Amino acid sequence: MSYTSPGTDNLPVNTQVVVLYDRKSGEIVHLHQALFFSAARSREAKETFLTDLVQKVAKEINPALDMQAYDVLHSPDFDLRQTEYRVDVGRKQLVEVAPL
């Protein structure tokens, strides 16, 4: 898959993984990986945008989802691989469970 954007080198300046997860079990119910090609937005603006996006999409997929049972975790510059993940709720960290 290739990505292009206006600019001189077309490389992302920042990547971010954001997950919606069960705050008790750490089970991930929705995940987005975002590539930012411009540093124009502040870190806070990016996190607010991605939090809103992940919650909206998860709710559209499953309208019965009780959002009070879930939290959002941001992992900037996380190296997302083809594996299963969960959130370590004690450390508030995305962790690898097992290779797929």
pLDDT along the chain (100 residues), means of 10: 53 85 94 82 86 91 90 87 92 84
Residue 6, domain member (yes or no): no
Is 33 inside any structural domain? yes
> How many structural domains is the chain composed of?
1
Q: Is residue 81 part of a domain?
A: yes
Confirm whether pTM is higher than 0.85: no
Q: Which long-range contacts (CB under 8 A, 24 or more apart) does 28-36 make?
A: 28/85, 28/86, 28/87, 29/58, 29/62, 29/65, 29/70, 30/54, 30/57, 30/58, 30/61, 31/85, 32/57, 33/80, 35/3, 36/12
| Residue 51 maps to a domain | yes
pLDDT of residue 41: 76
48: in domain: yes
User: 80: domain range?
Assistant: 14-99
Give the pLDDT confidence of 4-28 residue by residue, as tens digits: 455 556 777 778 899 999 999 999 9
